[in-house]
Amino acid sequence: MAATDGPVGFVGLGMMGLPMARSLLRRGWRLVACDPSGAARAALAEGAAPGAARFADTPAEVAEACRVVVLMLPDSRVVAQVMEGPGGLIAVLRPGQLVVDMGSSVPSETRRLAAALAGRGAAMVDAPVSGSVVKATSGTLTIMVGGNDQAFALAEPVLRGMGETLIRTGPVGSAHAMKALNNYVYAAGLLAAVEALRMGERLGLDLGILTEVMNASSGRNVATETKLRQEILSGRYQGGFQLGLMRKDLETAAAIAAETGFPARQLGLCLEVWNGAVAALGAKADNTEIHRHLGGGPERR
């Protein structure tokens, strides 16, 4: 049925965007995609049904061809450039069109762009994702969705081509806020777990048993369950989420703290540690390498 509903625009074929776009193709959608990387365009075209994927040179060309346009871009700065810069979306949007921002953007900027779209009779929803590249590849992401009922009804069939669970979060901008706050809680839990490992190491404790104790007790969180034994104690450090992306989400949470006037002290400390880790290891290091940054771990491979 999806193949009869017209093409979907897709801007941004990066680490997450490419498998998400492929998931839509597998489920019968036709795409008009835009990305400056020739390798990314070739990767999307490879294996696609004849005519299922075509490419545009600018975001504006995507909007001219598609009622629904998905953005999977690095941050709000790039989203604003794609929306408002030369060859951008906003100048050509028509009443009834929808832009779906699936990246991790700053909520206040999302609300600003949504207002600009509304001025042209178009709508915007924010739909950031939770899940790794593996879940993007299988089309089983969890997707948070902010927007009104009409916009959600238009976005829902497309989102279900990429995600298994959709959680409506409220008005536009709320999903980006909840994603950032969730990722702050994850980062804080990971940092606490790693600090506990380092202290346990200095005491000469069996770190495997310490991990077992945390997972059977009140210290349990997603980091202790899915990262400590699998990625950190093993020395693999391949959790699938980059340090730089983690820092970006913490910066977004910090922007929310500033906007609301809430003195989030632990958030400030967490961001300070992540800034140091990115400076020491590079933005593309895995987020579990925060353990290495705190000292004494195996050398990065």
Q: What is the 3-state secondary structure (H, E, C) of the chain?
A: CHHHCCCEEEECCCCCHHHHHHHHHHCCCCEEEECCCHHHHHHHHCCCCCCCEEECCCHHHHHHHCCEEEECCCCHHHHHHHHHCCCCCHHHCCCCCEEEECCCCCHHHHHHHHHHHHCCCCEEEECCEECCHHHHHHCCEEEEEECCHHHHHHHHHHHCCCEEEEEEEECCCHHHHHHHHHHHHHHHHHHHHHHHHHHHHHHCCCHHHHHHHHHCCCCCCHHHHHHHHHHHHCCCCCCCCEHHHHHHHHHHHHHHHHHHCCCCHHHHHHHHHHHHHHHHHCCCCEHHHHHHHCCCCCCCC
Per annotation, catalytic residue among 135, 179, 227, 248: 179
Per-residue confidence band for 298, with pLDDT thresholds at 50, 70 and 90:
very low
- pLDDT digit string (tens) for 53-80? 999 999 999 999 999 999 999 999 999 9
Average pLDDT of the residues in 231-237: 96
> 145 has which bridge partners?
168
| Whether the Cβ atoms of residue 108 and residue 81 lie closer than 8 Å to each other | no
**Which residues make Cβ contacts (< 8 Å) with residue 58, sequence separation at least 6?**
34, 87, 88
In the predicted structure, residue 120 carries a pLDDT above the cut 70 = yes
- Compute the distance between CA of residue 68 and CA of residue 100 in angstroms, rounded to an integer: 7
CB burial string 115-131: b at 16+ within 10 A, e below: ebbeeeebbbbbbbbbb
Task: Say how many C-beta atoms besides its own lie within 10 A of residue 143's C-beta.
Answer: 25
Report pLDDT digits (tens) over 154-167.
999 999 999 999 99
- pLDDT of amino acid 5: 67
**30/26 Cα distance (integer angstroms):** 10
pLDDT of the residue at 131: 83
- Which is nearest to 2 in space by CA: 142, 162, 145, 130? 162
Lowest mean pLDDT among 3-7, 74-78, 132-136: 3-7
Percentage above 90 pLDDT, the chain: 93
The mean predicted confidence, pLDDT, of the chain is 94
Residue 135 annotated in active site: no
> Crossing angle, helix 107-118 and helix 243-260, to 10 degrees?
80
Q: What is the mean pLDDT of residues 13-20?
A: 95
Residue 296 has pLDDT above 60, yes or no: no
Beta-carbon contacts of 300 under 8 Å, excluding residues fewer than 6 positions away, are: 237, 281, 285, 289, 292
Residues composing the chain: 301
Domains of the chain and any CATH numbers:
2-171 (3.40.50.720), 177-293 (1.10.1040.10)
Residue (of 111, 121, 17, 112) closest to 70 by Cα position: 17
Prediction pTM value: 0.92
Q: Radius of gyration of the chain from Cα atoms?
A: 20
Share of the chain above pLDDT 70, in %: 96
